[in-house]
Structure 1
């Protein structure tokens, strides 16, 4: 049940009947205070101004039309004009009760699968032969939460892990792998690649100081790019080893990426020559000092002239821009995407605009093809600087998760419980990984945030442990009652203001998810769940459940059951695990 959409539809119809052009938005918003109703129609003033009429008189005409059509009968109890033309909307209690009851017994919690786009979501994107670090965390878990939400609303989502698995560095890496094997035996490659970060560092150091090795590396690049089987076999070894390590981290994080979602830069390599040739034939790419360049009027250099974007170097090599043009074409015409969403940090913003701009200029994708780049801020330490180790090194993602487990273990061991060892380990893992993810997802992705172990592992405030405990607290009511929530019968009855507030909050779940998906802001969902937990606490304090007489007891248990289901589903869309007991 999307109350906002329902009200918007009825108000829009009423406005059409009083002379407003179709498509005008009544601007239905959730009210900030109960005295202003449950919702407000805030669009009357703007529409009245365009029509040149008095806003309050116009609002009254809309109310008269709604009263005459009776379309809101049984949905609202009262409509009133406030201030210069706002309309306060007070919902009907029986309508809320029936809607909550329908949501509770529906596996989608009353949320319709109303969206049917095919959406390619490009996120995570690690590099081959480099270990994932904290810089990969935000794009990975924000992208994954948005993917989960889009799918829940009915979209077909294609996950794209655009890994860096092609380029000149692979000549160096293959040459070093070959050298290591020749010195240590054919079966030594696993040992060499066990610490892939050091492997890359050692290869680069040798490349910089040994000209013969550097020359061999350059030759290997040419052989690799020309399809030499021996080079390709070594390249695949590097890619497979890296992605095995990445997959282990995805599994630990509860991220839904899998090997089949990998779409590396190498996938588009066969397309790059045709991309350049097409741009040349159209006169969009011109030669400049031996390189092929596309000049874009919307981007200027320091002299105020159109900026040249290189798509092929003077040595014949291609650039990331060329690859991303091909990737856009592949997503539209091979994957049949309706739109594309990309998650990378803000430093890639101009690059994406340039690549996608050329893709549209060259006709590789239609002009109206929607490609959206969602950026995110940085993870900072308590000193306000980028999060690093004490020695100043980049924090490896695996090390971060290990420390989370250690800290969560100490935290849970301090709390008295009758949990079995298996249950305790499940709680530790849920709290540890949940805390790391929720600390990020509960912040606006557009801003930097401070990574603070003490705050994120607290059982107070808007944190994963608090939200996970809030869920188990609701579930414990059913254990005390000795009933299964799924077996409850009877009608939900709403008499108390706290029952009403809880029902309204529960029924606003779909509105929250639509906003979360549209804006790609998981913090919207995190805030909703935190507020829901607070509304439930007030309900639990003021509305006795287990000591209430029937049918009130059964009604309140059903509200509690819907609360638990909503918390669990919402946390799952954030990628946060719940446990039944803590």
Structure 2
């Protein structure tokens, strides 16, 4: 039951009576939104103003005509026209109560599976396996995981593919570093850490300190050129370089999997790295040349833009779909060639409706280029989306930079968050004991589990609560705050709901199998009932725009609304018993929706805090 969609379907015939174009009707339906203030109603139809411009009539007159065309409905009170032509709608309390009682008996909490479902491939995380995961890998990993959980919950088929960087230029850097600078004892003790040191050390020797390993500049840089030569040897099947590559991989993959498990990332369906696609690349380049899609230029193989130009200036790059380089002068294939092979493989083997790439916004030009070349190649039926995101900033508001050694390793970041989570829990416990609260004795294992859930949840929620297109500053203090829009506050709200049932020695099962009637006797009850019923609406909004922060916004509104209900509406002491049961049902539904939404974000709840 999606309250907003129900209204849109109700209003559709009224709009169709005034305009005939389907596209215009859909655009006007998009103007129906949640009312900004409760006294204005629950939802607001804002179609009269744009319709007035279109039809050349006063907006209030248009609003009155819309009301005349609205079909009868028992779900709403009589609509009201406000201001120049806004139509305010308020659901009847009886409808909210009856609908919410039905939701309580539904395992999916009122969320119907989408029809028709779609088939997605989601590409996220995609670390370079040659070095430890650092904070820069965090956003792609947890954003992709949250989108996967959300789309699957809605009923879509989602295939996850971790496109590992196990074959690119960074391996040329590692191989060169290993051959010239390895510390054998350090490598034996901790291969991943020594490989990370070698990577940073070799890049520090480059004359041009850029961020792009594929950068063609600096051709007179002997270290950079030597690393490219090692990459070309690897791609050509050099036995020594292949042996080193095979030696590096297992240690790196285990390190990555360990971090994924601790973060609670869903297992990937596939982890096909760049090396998997390498055998396909020569044939793809030859096919592109044979079809006239690519041409040789100064020893490289390039795809010119549609006008046949190879741009030389930034202005020319923006003029048409950008060109691309498939094979460099030294014979090494580029990321573009690998990514084109990946698109072909995914389309042929997974047959998706859409492929989503959850990748840093700084890669926008690469994906613009990739999608343009894929379309020229003939892959026009599958949707290709770059789900871009901003940068995690340090306290100095500068991006973390792994290549300068400045990015904290993800494992260290998690450990610190868990330590602070435990400190925060113990501090809160002592304060509550001093205030006279009765608290249960918890084992060290239980406290450790709470600290793990709180610490990791704080990291993930702090990221997911941002609009993914924005940068944000990484701050433990803000992440672990017990008030405001944080995971800790949401986890505490859930635990508080659960404590009510423990305190009253009430079993929640009967509120789910035979839910009692909801009674709405106070404005806080109505506000909570309405917010609970907006759960499907929040999921649809987050999925349609691939924006998980819509879910955290919903959680924040739900938690605040529940706090108001908790303050004004006694639960266990409510009289008569029917009102007590009604309020207990609201508490149980709040807990279930809090838990389900946090689970969709990949965040654990705890029963006690």
> Normalization by structure 1: what TM-score?
0.90
C-alpha contact 1:379 1:450 (8 A) present in aligned 2: yes
Q: Deviations over 1:203-252 (max 9, x none)?
A: 779999xx999999888756643557776564334222211101111111
* Residue equivalent to 1:289: 298
Counterpart check, 1:46 vs 2:50? yes
Counterparts in 2 of 1:434 and 1:360: CA distance versus 1, 3 Å:
same
Counterpart check, 1:350 vs 2:361? no
Query: Deviation of residue 353 (structure 1)?
Result: 0.5
Query: Helix, strand or coil: the match of 2:289?
Result: helix
Query: Helix, strand or coil: the match of 2:77?
Result: strand
Counterpart check, 1:152 vs 2:153? yes
Counterpart check, 1:569 vs 2:596? yes
CA distance in 1, matches of 2:392, 2:231: 35
User: Which stretch shows the higher mean deviation, 236-245 or 222-231?
Assistant: 222-231
C-alpha contact 1:18 1:65 (8 A) present in aligned 2: no
* Residue equivalent to 2:62: 58
Query: Deviation of residue 410 (structure 1)?
Result: 2.1
C-alpha contact 1:142 1:441 (8 A) present in aligned 2: yes
Query: Helix, strand or coil: the match of 1:492?
Result: coil
* Residue equivalent to 2:464: 441
C-alpha contact 1:38 1:88 (8 A) present in aligned 2: yes
Query: Deviation of residue 55 (structure 1)?
Result: 2.8
Counterparts in 2 of 1:203 and 1:426: CA distance versus 1, 3 Å:
same
C-alpha contact 2:231 2:332 (8 A) present in aligned 1: no
C-alpha contact 1:146 1:520 (8 A) present in aligned 2: yes
CA distance in 1, matches of 2:158, 2:585: 33
CA distance in 1, matches of 2:281, 2:451: 48
Counterparts in 2 of 1:232 and 1:300: CA distance versus 1, 3 Å:
closer
| Aligned counterpart in structure 1 of residue 259 of structure 2, from 249, 267, 270 | 249
CA distance in 1, matches of 2:128, 2:388: 19
Query: Deviation of residue 263 (structure 1)?
Result: 2.0
Query: Deviation of residue 437 (structure 1)?
Result: 1.2
CA distance in 2, matches of 1:399, 1:65: 62
User: Which stretch shows the higher mean deviation, 273-282 or 565-574?
Assistant: 273-282
Counterpart check, 1:579 vs 2:597? no
C-alpha contact 2:230 2:241 (8 A) present in aligned 1: yes
Query: Deviation of residue 15 (structure 1)?
Result: 2.3
User: Which stretch shows the higher mean deviation, 262-271 or 44-53?
Assistant: 44-53
CA distance in 2, matches of 1:329, 1:455: 44
Query: Helix, strand or coil: the match of 1:125?
Result: coil
Q: Which runs of 5+ in 1 are unaligned?
A: none
User: Which stretch shows the higher mean deviation, 488-497 or 109-118?
Assistant: 488-497
Counterpart check, 1:424 vs 2:447? yes
CA distance in 2, matches of 1:483, 1:395: 46
Query: Helix, strand or coil: the match of 1:272?
Result: helix
CA distance in 1, matches of 2:541, 2:365: 26
Q: Deviations over 1:303-340 (max 9, x none)?
A: 74466421112233210111112222222222111001
CA distance in 2, matches of 1:162, 1:517: 23
* Residue equivalent to 1:8: 8
C-alpha contact 1:387 1:451 (8 A) present in aligned 2: no
* Residue equivalent to 2:434: none
Query: Helix, strand or coil: the match of 2:385?
Result: strand
| Aligned counterpart in structure 2 of residue 550 of structure 1, from 577, 584, 597 | 577
Query: Deviation of residue 570 (structure 1)?
Result: 0.8
Query: Helix, strand or coil: the match of 1:375?
Result: strand
CA distance in 2, matches of 1:165, 1:461: 41
* Residue equivalent to 2:436: none
Query: Deviation of residue 523 (structure 1)?
Result: 1.6
Q: Deviations over 1:96-145 (max 9, x none)?
A: 11111122221111101115111111111110211111111111111211
Matched residue pairs, number?
570
Query: Helix, strand or coil: the match of 1:424?
Result: helix
Query: Deviation of residue 148 (structure 1)?
Result: 1.0
CA distance in 1, matches of 2:138, 2:323: 33
CA distance in 2, matches of 1:310, 1:237: 30
C-alpha contact 1:491 1:555 (8 A) present in aligned 2: yes
> Normalization by structure 2: what TM-score?
0.86
| Aligned counterpart in structure 2 of residue 225 of structure 1, from 210, 218, 235 | 235
* Residue equivalent to 1:395: 408
Query: Deviation of residue 190 (structure 1)?
Result: 6.9
Q: Which runs of 5+ in 2 are unaligned?
A: 208-220, 431-438
User: Which stretch shows the higher mean deviation, 283-292 or 20-29?
Assistant: 20-29
* Residue equivalent to 2:273: 264
* Residue equivalent to 1:96: 96
CA distance in 2, matches of 1:248, 1:281: 45
Query: Deviation of residue 562 (structure 1)?
Result: 0.5
Counterpart check, 1:538 vs 2:564? yes
| Aligned counterpart in structure 1 of residue 486 of structure 2, from 463, 469, 472 | 463
* Residue equivalent to 1:336: 351
* Residue equivalent to 2:552: 526
CA distance in 1, matches of 2:82, 2:206: 74
* Residue equivalent to 2:505: 482
User: Which stretch shows the higher mean deviation, 551-560 or 408-417?
Assistant: 408-417
CA distance in 2, matches of 1:154, 1:178: 51
CA distance in 2, matches of 1:214, 1:326: 26
Query: Helix, strand or coil: the match of 1:310?
Result: strand
CA distance in 2, matches of 1:320, 1:568: 40
Query: Deviation of residue 470 (structure 1)?
Result: 0.9
CA distance in 1, matches of 2:316, 2:569: 69
Q: Deviations over 1:68-118 (max 9, x none)?
A: x42x22x11121122222211110111111111122221111101115111
Counterparts in 2 of 1:264 and 1:195: CA distance versus 1, 3 Å:
same
User: Which stretch shows the higher mean deviation, 553-562 or 489-498?
Assistant: 489-498
* Residue equivalent to 1:452: 475
CA distance in 1, matches of 2:2, 2:97: 14
* Residue equivalent to 1:135: 136
Counterpart check, 1:120 vs 2:121? yes
CA distance in 2, matches of 1:61, 1:191: 74
